[in-house]
Amino acid sequence: MERPRVGELAPPDRLLMGPGPSEVHPRVLQAMSTPLVGHLDPAFIDIMDDVQDLLRYTFRTDNQWTIPVSGTGSASMEAAIGNLTEPGDTVLVPGNGYFGERMAAMVERAGGDPVFVEAPWGEPLDPTDVADAFAEHQPDLFGFVHAETSTGAKQPQVSELTRIAHQHDALVIADTVTSLGGVELRVDEWGIDVAYAGPQKCLSCPPGASPLTLNDRAMAKILDRETPVRSWYLDLSLLQEYWGDERAYHHTAPITNVYALREALRLVAEEGIENRWQRHRRMAGALKAGVEGMGMALNPADDWWLPSLNAVRLPDGVDDDAVIAHLLGEYGIEVAGGLGDLSGEILRIGCMGHSARRGNVLTLIAALGDALEAQDAAVDVEAGLAATRETLRG
């Protein structure tokens, strides 16, 4: 076999304004270039402590069991669901988006029985429907998506949902993949038992070490399981020996990714979590104003608009693939189309982390207007840009 001839690594320079990943802050990239140490080196253990403290700050929690899972956001999702779900458990999951369906698939693989509480795609769960589902099914666990990446909808009334679950002695698992670090999230105050996230969205960190937090009640269920967790790699009863006080070997941690996450979380703390929430809302508000100024609308209603992921309804007759290709080919801007029930109907435009900046929003609105005009869509690009500028000035 001949030796392969591989050229220099030269990925294109993109403006990442899709559903993730977002642009990575230069300080995070620099952190990834620092020397490796061993995953049990005392210096790395200090770094682990830093990451856990910073994650607690960002999640707004005092949970001892707050760690980065070695893997992408799907790994922290599967760690949460797979550890909490025992064979035969009934798990109530949301039927209002793509990632509720993924929850159900993971529950089934863990041996549980998923049941759906339904709502239209793009709308939140209604607490009354959740209460009715609890009365009918008496689930052991309840999962909901705080920020549904497939629809651009945020789940309001979280405290009401957790209250209902706790009245039935059920644990609550929250998908915060597209909200952690960018949208208001208060794990302890809102009564969330378990929350998982990905680092590549509002934290602007490359995927590879994914946030997870569990309270004592959730960890007690895991440690008291009658059957082992089906995944050895994601078994939190074993991982807690590495991330807990013992610092006992379990696997080789993704050291460089932990460096990156630490630096990304340092940026969160330096900015201040509430200031960061406000910045995301301000930048996304300007994007929203520009879209509406052009004559389009977002898919979700204002009451559950998700600033970090804007689901823009396309004008009639516009091909989403053509818009996406135009933005990428002409401007180097990445956005994405719809999933599931919204496929072909929306564009998913992220406004997350380091991507949520004034210049990026203005560039995106101008480029989007050009892409739509190329398909003879009836949009007013100048009005959209004026609305964006006016919102940014405010």
Nearest to 199 by CA among 51, 13, 338: 51
| Choices 1.10.1660.10, 3.40.50.970, 3.40.50.300, 3.90.1150.10: CATH for 272-393 | 3.90.1150.10
Cα 332 to the center of its chain, rounded Å? 23
Phi-psi bin for 376: left (phi > 0), alpha (psi -120 to 50), beta? left
Long-range contacts of 158-167 (CB under 8 A, 24+ apart): 158/190, 158/191, 158/192, 159/189, 159/190, 159/191, 160/127, 161/125, 161/127, 161/130, 162/190, 162/191, 162/192, 162/193, 163/191, 164/127, 164/130, 164/131, 164/134, 165/130, 165/134, 166/191, 167/134
Tell whether pTM > 0.95.
yes
The two three-digit tokens of residue 170, written as one number: 């059920």
> Are 26-270 and 272-393 in the same CATH fold?
no
Q: Is the pLDDT confidence value at 245 over 90?
A: no
Distance CA 3, CA 14 (A): 31
Question: 261 pLDDT exceeds 90?
Answer: yes
DSSP state letter for 342: G
What mean pLDDT comes out for the span 32-46?
96
Residue 275 pLDDT exceeds 90: yes
Position 116 pLDDT exceeds 90: yes
pLDDT confidence of 191, banded at 50, 70, 90?
very high
Distance (Å, whole) CA 217 – CA 165: 14
What is the reported pLDDT for 135?
98
Please check the confidence at residue 1 and state whether its pLDDT lies above 90: no
For tokens 């602007």, what's the residue?
A: 204
- 301-325, pLDDT tens digit by residue? 999 999 999 999 999 999 999 999 9
Question: Residue 86: which pLDDT band, with cuts at 50, 70 and 90?
Answer: very high
Q: Is the pLDDT at 394 greater than 90, yes or no?
A: no
Mean pLDDT of the chain: 97
Per-residue pLDDT reduced to its tens digit, 56-85: 999 999 999 999 999 999 999 999 999 999
Please answer whether residues 213 and 195 qualify as being in contact, where contact means their C-beta atoms are separated by less than 8 angstroms. yes
In the chain, % of residues over pLDDT 90: 97
Q: What pLDDT, on a 0 to 100 scale, did the predictor assign at position 102?
A: 97
pLDDT tens column, 14-38: 999 999 999 999 999 999 999 999 9
**CATH class of segment(s) 26-270:** alpha beta
Domain boundaries defined on the chain: 26-270, 272-393
DSSP per-residue letters across 345-392: TEEEEE--GGG-SHHHHHHHHHHHHHHHHTTT----HHHHHHHHHHHH
pLDDT in tens, 334-384: 999 999 989 999 999 999 999 999 999 999 999 999 999 999 999 999 999
